[in-house]
Amino acid sequence: MRRPAPDARPVGLTIAGSDSGGGAGIQADLATMAAHGVFGTSAITAVTAQHTRGVESSHVLPLEEVEAQLSAVIDDFAVAGAKTGMLATPELVRLVADRAPTFGFPLVVDPVMVATSGDRLLEPEAEAAYADLLAEATIVTPNADEATVLTGVEIEDEASARAAGEAICELGAEAALIKGGHVPGETVRDVLVTADDVRTFEHPRVDTDATHGSGCTLAAAIAARLARGADLESAVEGATDFLARAIRYPYDVGQGPGAVNHGVEIRNDAAREPTAEAVRSVVDALVEADVSPLLPEVGTNVVGATPYAESVAETAAVEGRITRTFSGVAPTRGVRFGASSHVARFLLEARECFPTLRFAVNYRFAGDVEEALETLGWDVAEDERPAEPESVAEREGETMGWPARQGFADRPEPPVAVVDRGDVGKEPTTKLLATDAETLTERTLELCDALE
């Protein structure tokens, strides 16, 4: 008989409705808590029949059943953080408001009042009952429409969001996060208001309709981070980053727009070592084949991005570069994350247009390389350096991003290679791209053979 090895984790609680489609409600909350290393418990307030296209029906559970669930969880588990979602009726709102003073753990109140369509989800009596619940909240997370219902302030910009947040804090809440997802614009701005400070978290808007459950996911992420001991501002910052990535890489499920990817970060973290190993396999192949005819003066680097990479720190590359030696080529050091700067930024920019791209390598460019590319008949994009705005060229870290954006403009499929003819002080380069390490290796060897 084997000895058990218990896994102690913080406990989170969600008080919300069930979404049979899995994108929102307690399903989203529990998945998000698990992604944050928190054991999730629940008190279900209502059962809904819904999917990626909408809600078919809903049934509110009896008050005593919800109360029994709360008692069962709180009496047995050391809950370290909780959040509310759909509370459906005035009685359910008052039930939670009455129990909240005894919680002894952070409470995130997501006032689910207005649907994305703008439809009211609660009757006026239930909206009024929220006043007592807000007074017990560690943080309240309304979207723009819900903030207007709670405060009467129309959310149009950061100033009005701040005013609404201050009004919610005046009702007794320790903090308010006015979400900007419903406010038009290229940038989503979530405004955090506390008694001492105001901070805005900005993320580029993602062109997708797969945002169902985003509010639930954000509130659950905040609650989970608070349960793990984070301070409020850090919890909000981490949760907004988490949601931005979950929306950028949604689940392609159902016949509707899809669902927010609650597991995006744990899957991304799980892919780190396989990604690094894939980069090592490319490096080994380049060394074995001796691709020195392709190496530029500055050396070559191979970069691999995790499936949901959003930063250089999530790309693996050779620390240093691959350079020529007396016997061929060799990496100066091993592979680690964050080791590349230029090629990594190029790959990240390429992923903005084609998110499935995960690997890139830089080689030299000259007349013989150009002839080899033509012989292979590959789809090759070219950066026109003279078109690069001076303001972009002057900004540090932009010299690789601009060619990527220009090279992929209006293309239905990613090119195999991107040619940069260089400029004053900038060496001409050829960059190969691929969705997997094996393809990147094959393309390199093909180019090397064509060159010879």
* Count of C-beta atoms within a 10 Å radius of residue 176: 29
Residue 121: what pLDDT? Answer: 60
Please give the radius of gyration of the chain, using alpha carbons only, rounded to the nearest integer: 26
CA 200 centroid distance within chain: 17
Q: pTM of the full predicted structure?
A: 0.90
* CA angle, 43 then 47 then 53, to 5°: 125
Measured CA to CA, the distance from residue 85 to residue 217 in angstroms comes to 10
Q: Which DSSP helix (H) or strand (E) runs through 11?
A: strand 11-19
Start-end of CATH 3.40.225.10 domains in the chain: 271-451
Are the C-beta atoms of residues 135 and 126 closer than 8 Å to each other? no
Residue 183: what pLDDT? Answer: 85
Measured CA to CA, the distance from residue 285 to residue 114 in angstroms comes to 56
Residue 159: what pLDDT? Answer: 93
CA 181 centroid distance within chain: 14
Start-end of CATH 3.40.1190.20 domains in the chain: 11-269
Token pair, residue 327, equals: 């016997």
For residue 273, the SS3 value is helix
Note the pLDDT tens digit of each residue in 287-309. Answer: 999 999 999 988 999 999 999 99
Domain with residues 271-451, CATH architecture = 3-Layer(aba) Sandwich (3.40)
DSSP secondary structure of 64-124: HHHHHHHHHHHHHS-EEEEEE----SHHHHHHHHHHGGG--S-EEE----B-TTS-B-S-H
- Any idea which fold 11-269 has? UDP-N-acetylmuramoyl-L-alanine:D-glutamate ligase (3.40.1190)
Count Cβ atoms within 10 A of the Cβ of residue 318 and give its class: 0-12 exposed, 13-18 middle, 19 or more buried: buried
For residue 324, the SS3 value is strand
Note the pLDDT tens digit of each residue in 343-389. Answer: 999 999 999 999 999 999 999 999 999 999 999 999 999 876 555 55
Residue 270: what pLDDT? Answer: 96
Residue 182: what pLDDT? Answer: 79
Residue 395: what pLDDT? Answer: 47
Low-confidence ranges of the chain (pLDDT < 50): 117, 392-399
* Count of C-beta atoms within a 10 Å radius of residue 94: 18
